[in-house]
Amino acid sequence: MLNKDKDKICEVCGYGKAQIKYITRSYGKGANLLIIENVPVVSCANCGESYLTAETLHEIARIKLHRKSFAKKRNVAVAEFV
């Protein structure tokens, strides 16, 4: 996994001090909704890009594939933008 305390080189512009931030992503909808918390994202202050690494994408795919092993059921409030 990515080390949040260590700077990373931005794969877009080459800036040597891109930071690791953590976000929450949702996949699917309705009964198939899966929310993954603490997803590491590389965020570059130099070029403004934010992206998921290949390692992170592989881990997300693994979590989605084996969601019953990883996911815990929680009630969640849902609002619709109108």
Task: Assign residue 19 the CATH number of its domain.
Answer: 3.10.20
Please state the rounded mean pLDDT for residues 14-23. Answer: 95
Count how many domains the chain has. Answer: 1
Q: Which residue range forms the structural domain that includes residue 17?
A: 1-82
Q: Which of 52, 61, 39, 67 is nearest to 8 (CA)?
A: 52
DSSP string, the chain: ---TTS-B--TTT--TTBEEEEEEEEES-GGG-EEEEEEEEEE-TTT--EE--HHHHHHHHHHHHTHHHH------------
pLDDT digits (tens, 9 = 90+) for 21-73: 999 999 998 888 999 999 999 999 999 999 999 999 999 999 999 999 988 99
What is the model's pLDDT at position 4? 58
Q: What is the pTM of this model?
A: 0.81
Task: Quote the tokens at residue 6.
Answer: 């260590």
Residue 1 has pLDDT above 70, yes or no: no
What is the model's pLDDT at position 82? 86
